[in-house]
Structure 1
Amino acid sequence: MAEIEVQSFGGCVHALRQADLRQSLYDEAALMMGRAVVNLHGAEHRARRGVEAVMFRKDIFLHYEKNVLPQTLAETLAPFLAEGRGDLVEIGYRIMMNLTIDFTGVDRPLRSAEETGELLRLLKEFSLAPALGQARDPADVADKKRRIALAMEEFRTRFLDPSLARRQALIDRCKAGEIDRGELPKDVLTALLLGRDELGMSDAEFVQEGIFFVLAGAHTTIHSLTHAVHEIWNWLTAHPEDVERIRSDPYFIQQCVYESLRLHPSSPVARRRALCPVTLKDGEIVEAGQEVAVNLRTANHDVELFGDDANRFNPHRTVRSNFRYGLSMGDGVHACLGRHLAIGVDPKPGSDPDKHQYGVVPLIVAGLLRQGLRPDPDDAPEKDETITRITWARYPIIFKPEEALL
Structure 2
Amino acid sequence: MSNVFNFSAGPAMMPPAVLKKAQEELLNWQGQGTSVMEVSHRGKYFMELITQADKDFRELYNIPENYKILFLQGGARGQFAAIPMNLANNKGKALYLNTGHWSATAAKEARNFTEVDELNITEQIDGLTRVNRLDFSDIAEQYDYVHYCPNETITGVEINEIPNVGNAVLVADMSSNIMARKLDISKFGIIYAGAQKNLGPAGIVIVIVREDLIGHARKATPSIWNYEVQANADSMINTPPTFAWYLCSLVFKDLLANGGIDTVEKRNAQKAALLYDYLDQTAFYHNTIAKENRSVMNVTFTTGDDQLNAKFVAQATEAGLQALKGHKVFGGMRASIYNAMPVEGVEALIAFMKKFEAENA
Q: TM-score, normalised by structure 1?
A: 0.28
**TM-score, normalization: structure 2?**
0.30
Q: With CA pairs under 8 Å and 6+ residues apart, which has the higher RCO, 1 or 2?
A: 1
